[in-house]
Amino acid sequence: MARFFVLSFCSGKEERMMNRRIYLASPHMSEEGYEQEYVKEAFDTNWIAPLGKNVDEFERELAKYVGIGHAAALSAGTAAIHLALKAANVGEGDIVFCQDLTFSATANPIIYQKAIPVFIDSDEETWNMDPKALEEAFNKYPEVKAVLVVHLYGLSADMDKITEICKKYNVALIEDAAESLGTTYKGQATGTFGEYGIFSFNGNKIITTSGGGMLVSNDEERIKKARFWATQARDQARHYQHSELGFNYRMSNVVAGVGRGQLKVLDQRVAKKKKIFEFYKQELEQLEGVKMMPVNDWNEPNFWLSCLTLEGKVKPIDVMEALEKENIESRPIWKPMHMQPFFEQYDFVGEGISQKLFENGVCLPSDTKMTEEDLVRIVKIIKELW
C-alpha cells in the first residue's frame, strides 16, 4: 500500500519510507513504446474486440519464440490451464497429478473440471516436481488422466525424467510455464515438452499484458478446439447453436497489442533478471545458512524471481520484516497445495520437501526497474541481520 506523509513532520525514518516502493516484480513496459504502437493500431482500426490482428500475431509470435506449432491467446493463464485439462479429456472423477509446490491457479482448474488432484512433492535439486514421487504416484493411482508440472520462479523441472515417465504410462503432460517464459531446459523452451503448455501475462509475470494467458501445443486441432471453447463454443451456423459447454476466455485485441510489444523486450528482461540473481548470489551466499535457488547446468532460467532458503538463526520472517520496514516487498515461497485448507482433503505423495521449501524460503525483490543502488541497499539491509 502507498504511504503518504506530510513532509514537515517527517523523521529520517519516515522519509526513507516515502521512498518509492520496491516490488517483487511489477509491470515494465518497453522504453521504446512498442506496446502503445500496437494498441494504437487496434484503436485506429476500431478492432477493440476479443479478436483481430494483434491476437493472431501475438499467437504466431509467441509460438515462434518458444518454438511450438500453435498457440491460443486467452484471458488468463488460469483459463489456459482449464482448457488444457479439457483438451486432455480430463473430466468428472478423473485423477490429475499436480505439482504440490505452486500457486493455487495451477490446481483450481482441476476442480473446475470436477476432477481429483493428487499433489506431488518437489525435489531439492529443482524445487519442482520430483520424478521419484511422480513414479510412486503412478504406482498408487495407475488410472491417472494427466500430469500437471510447474516451472516455478523460472527454474525448469527435470523434463527428461518427467516426460519419460509420462510416456511410459501414456499419460498427457501439461506444463504450467506461467512463471517461466524465456526459460530453457537443454536448449528447449519450457512449455513445449508436454502435450500442452501454458503461459501467463498477469501483472507480476516477466512480461505482462495486465492480464492474459496462452495455451500452446503442436496439435493444431486441439488448439482450434480450445479457441472454439474459449468463444462460447459456437457451432458453425447462422443462428446461435451450441452442442458443447462454452467459455468466454478469449484475449482482447487491445491486450494482445501490449503482449506483442512486451515480447520484443522479453530477452532484455531475462538478461536483467539474471543480473539481479547473480548479484544476490555473489553477495548473499557468503552468509551462513544462505542458499540461492538451484540452477542446474541443463537449465537456463528466466530468473523471474530470485529466491533463497535459510537454514540458521536468521529466519525468513526476519528478512521479510527488515525489508518491509524499508518499504521493500518480499514474500515466502508458495505455500504447498496439500497444506491449503481448500485442498487438504486430497492426497499428497512425497516426503515434505515442498513444506520445507515453504518454511525456509524467501522470494527477494526481483523487479527489472530496480537500479544498482536499489540492489546494494537491499543486500545491505539483509546483511545487517547477520
Ligand X SMILES: *Cc1c(COP(=O)(O)O)cnc(C)c1O
Q: Which residues bind ligand X (CB under 6 A)?
A: 76-78, 102-103, 105-106, 150, 176, 178-179, 200, 202, 213
| Least distance from ligand X to the Cβ atom of residue 326, Å | 26
Q: Over the range 111-123, which residues count as b (16 or more CB within 10 Å of their CB) and which as e?
A: eebebbbbbbbbb
Smallest separation (angstroms) from ligand X to the CB of 195:
17
Q: How far is the CB of 45 from ligand X (least distance, A)?
A: 27
CA atoms within 13 A on the CB side of 31: 4
Of the two residues 105 and 382, which places its CB atom closer to ligand X in the complex? 105
Q: Is the CB of 102 or the CB of 190 nearer to ligand X?
A: 102
Of 23 and 386, CB closest to ligand X: 23
Give backbone dihedrals phi and psi of 315, rounded to 5 degrees, phi first.
-105, 160
Question: Residue 367: left (phi > 0), alpha (psi -120 to 50), or beta?
Answer: beta
Q: How far is the CB of 40 from ligand X (least distance, A)?
A: 25
Helix axes 131-140, 159-169, angle to 10 degrees: 20
Q: Between residues 155 and 290, which has the closer beta carbon with respect to ligand X?
A: 155
Q: Which is nearer to ligand X, 70 or 151 (CB)?
A: 151
We find the least distance from the C-beta atom of residue 85 to ligand X, in angstroms, to be 13
To which residue does cell 490446481 refer?
107
Name which of 191 and 261 has its Cβ closer to ligand X. 191
Taking the complex as a whole, how short is the minimal distance between the CB of residue 30 and ligand X, in angstroms?
20
* Residue 31, burial from CB neighbour count under 10 angstroms (0-12, 13-18, 19+): exposed
Report which residue's Cβ sits closest to ligand X: 77
Query: Which of 78/122 has CB closer to ligand X?
Result: 78
Please work out, in degrees rounded to the nearest 5, the angle formed at the alpha carbon of residue 40 by the alpha carbons of 38 and 46: 110
DSSP conformation class of 155: P
Q: How many CB atoms lie within 10 A of CB 285?
A: 11
Rg, C-alpha atoms of the chain: 22
**CB of residue 82 vs ligand X: minimum separation in angstroms?**
9
Pairing status of strand 306-310 against strand 299-300: unpaired
